[in-house]
Amino acid sequence: MQPIGPLMHEHRLIERMLGILEKEKSRIQEDQAADTQLIDQSVDFFRTFADRCHHGKEEDILFRDLKNKSISKEHQAIMDELIEEHILGRRLVTELDGYNNHLVRSGNGSVNKEIAGTIDKLLNFYSEHIKKEDKDFFHPVMAYFSREEMSGMLQEFDAFEKELLHEKYLGMIRKLEENPVS
């Protein structure tokens, strides 16, 4: 299997979350209050799974290894765009989290329109970003790697995921220890 297999599989999971958010956006646009718990879970999903895990594997492993290759100017340009897009994705998730936190704190539904707007931006962003990676980047760049290199990347992906899981929950335990619930 090539390293793009797991990355593309992760895209399908991200698309499923986008489908859930599409329905939430429609609900909000029908003048219903945003589901703050759903938005909170979405923020966690995008921060932990889509960004830290998925984009982490891309940036910390695939892109790192591509930087050691003589890749075409076209592929380099796309890789640079993808890195910038990852930054934009983080900003959009932070924006969504901010609006959601405001709604939770204030109880004032005046930010529902902003939440729906940010969801719309996320939907558009991820749809185009995933399409670019799947169609224009992933398949062509695999030609730069030998089977052994691809196998090594897959092993690194597995190790990355295991470390991420421990990192996430170790951090949660530390916070709970520092600020125990009364």
Residue 157 domain-assigned (yes or no):
yes
- Tens of pLDDT, residue by residue over 128-181, are 999 999 999 999 999 999 999 999 999 999 999 988 888 888 887 888 888 876
Amino acid 173: pLDDT = 84
Integer angstrom CA distances of residue 120 from 18, 19, 49, 137: 10, 11, 20, 25
Residue 72 domain-assigned (yes or no):
yes
Q: How far, in Å, CA of 28 to CA of 26, rounded?
A: 5
State the average pLDDT over residues 76-102: 97
| Structural domain count of the chain | 1
The fraction of the chain above a pLDDT of 90, given in percent, is: 80
Q: How far, in Å, CA of 63 to CA of 79, rounded?
A: 7
Q: How far, in Å, CA of 44 to CA of 179, rounded?
A: 20
Q: What are residue 3's phi and psi, to 5 degrees?
A: -60, -20
Residue 143 domain-assigned (yes or no):
yes
Structure tokens at 127: 């749809």
Strand, coil or helix: 134: helix
Amino acid 170: pLDDT = 84
Domain that holds residue 152: 4-172
Residue 178 domain-assigned (yes or no):
no
Residue 138 domain-assigned (yes or no):
yes
Residue 100 domain-assigned (yes or no):
yes
Q: How far, in Å, CA of 24 to CA of 119, rounded?
A: 9
Q: How far, in Å, CA of 116 to CA of 131, rounded?
A: 23
Can you give the CATH number for the domain in which 124 is found?
1.20.120.520
Residue 130 domain-assigned (yes or no):
yes
Number of C-beta neighbours around residue 4 at 10 A: 20
DSSP secondary-structure letter at 111? G
Amino acid 31: pLDDT = 86
Residue 94 domain-assigned (yes or no):
yes
Amino acid 181: pLDDT = 66
